[in-house]
Amino acid sequence: MQEKKHDPLKVFLVDIVPPTFPADLIEHRMQELESLVTTYKGVVVVKKIQKRMTPDYRLYIGKGKLEEIQNEMKAIGANLLVIGNILKPAQIYNISEILRKDKIQVWDRIDLILKIFERHAASTEARLQIELAAIKHMGPRIFGMGMELSRQWGRWGGGSGAARGLGETNTERMRRHLKDKEIAIKKKLEQYQQTRELHRHARARHGLPTVGIVGYTNAGKSRLMHALTSKDILVENKLFATLGTAVGKMYIPPEDETQPVGTEILVNDTIGFIRDLPPELIDAFSSTLEDSIHSDLLLHVVDASDEYIDEKIAVVDEILEKIGAKQSKLYVFNKIDLISEEKQASLREKFADLAPLFISAQEWRGLDELKKTVESTIS
C-alpha cells in the first residue's frame, strides 16, 4: 500500500500519572513515548505531564486541562495530540470531537503503536494482524485514522450480505461490518498458522533444535540474529523494526576432530515487546510469536546499557508468561560495548540469579560462549 503524503506531524505529548509516581519513571515514560513518535517520523514540539489520581471519566485528562492544551496547540501549530496512556474508545471520541474544529488529531499510546506497526509491516500476515488489533482497539475509528488496510473488502469474504443491512442504522452497519471483517481476518490468519505448524513439524522430523530470540524492543535482537546466522535482515536502531518472524540457521562447529560434523540450530527473531501492551495487541500477534512459544530454548536479549533494565526484563518475562512460553531461557545481556567493565561486573553480581551471558552483537563479542551455552542447554 502506497502511503499517502500528509502534513508533517507536529506532536503535543501528554502523559497522565499518579501524584506519587517517581520522577525518574515519569521521565523514562516520556522518553519512550517520544521515541515512539520519532519512530513514526513525527516531531515532538511540546511535552507535558499531568498528575492526577484518577482519570476523568469523560475526557481522561479533564476539561480544563484539555482547553489549556487546545489553546497551546493552536498557538504553536501542533496537529496531533498523543496521550501516553490507554484510553477508552468513548474518551478518545469525546476529545476528538472537541478538537475537530481545529483539525487536531488525537491518539492514545496504542493508536501510536498500531500506526508504527502499520508502517513497518512487510508481509500480508503482519498487515492482517495489525488490522485485527486495530479493530479490537479502535473499532469504527480505524476508518478515520487511515487504517482500513484491506481496502478490497471482498478479498476477505465480506460485502456479500448487503441485503442484511436494510433497516440498520449506520452504527449497526459499521459494527456488523467490523465483526464480519474480524471473523474473515481470523480465518485467513488460521491458514498462516497451519502453514507455520507444518513447517515446525518438518523441522522436528529433521531433528533440528530451535531457539527463539525475544526481548524488549530495541534491545538488539535482530542484530544478534544476524551475528548468529548471517541472515540478511533489517537491523535498525529504532522501535519495532521487526514485525514478522525471521528464521535463520546457526552452525556450531565441532569441539574436536573426533566429531565429524558440528551442530545446526534454527534461530527465529520476532517482534519486540514493550510495556503496557493490552491483551488484544498480544493476541493479534500470537501467530508470529508461535515459533518462540514452541522453540526448545529462548534467548531473552537485554540491553545492558539501559538505565531501566529491571523494568524491561520484568515486562518481557510477564508477556512470555501470558503467551505460554514456559521453556528454558538464557538471559543475554547485549551492548556491552556501550558500558564499562565495572558496570558489567556490577550487572553480573546484581543479576547473578539469572546467570546472564554478556555479549556485543555489534562487535561480535561473547558469541562463541553464547553458542556453546546454547548447544549444551538444548543437547
Contacting residues for 371 by C-beta, under 8 A, at least 6 apart:
228, 250, 252
Distance in angstroms (rounded) separating the CA atoms of residues 270 and 148: 24
Residues of the chain with CATH 3.40.50.11060: 10-115
Residue 277 carries which side chain, given as an amino acid letter? L
pLDDT of amino acid 5: 55
Measured N-to-C along each axis, helices 286-293 and 124-138 cross at an angle, to the nearest 10 degrees, of: 120
pLDDT of amino acid 294: 78
Residues of the chain with CATH 3.40.50.300: 208-378
pLDDT of amino acid 79: 95
pLDDT of amino acid 48: 92
What are the angstrom distances between the C-alpha of 330 and each of 89, 243, 286, 302, 368? 39, 22, 22, 10, 15
pLDDT of amino acid 321: 87
pLDDT of amino acid 205: 55
pLDDT of amino acid 3: 46
Longest CA–CA span in the chain (Å) reads 79
Low-confidence residues of the chain: pLDDT under 50: 1-3, 149-166, 234-235
Contacting residues for 12 by C-beta, under 8 A, at least 6 apart:
45, 46, 48, 69, 72, 73, 78, 80, 81, 82
Whether CATH 3.40.50.1100 fits 208-378:
no
Distance in angstroms (rounded) separating the CA atoms of residues 227 and 241: 17
Please report, to the nearest 10 degrees, the dihedral formed by the alpha carbons of residues 129, 281, 25, 50 taken in order: 100
Whether CATH 3.40.50.11060 fits 10-115:
yes
pLDDT of amino acid 158: 46
Distance in angstroms (rounded) separating the CA atoms of residues 355 and 211: 18
pLDDT of amino acid 163: 42
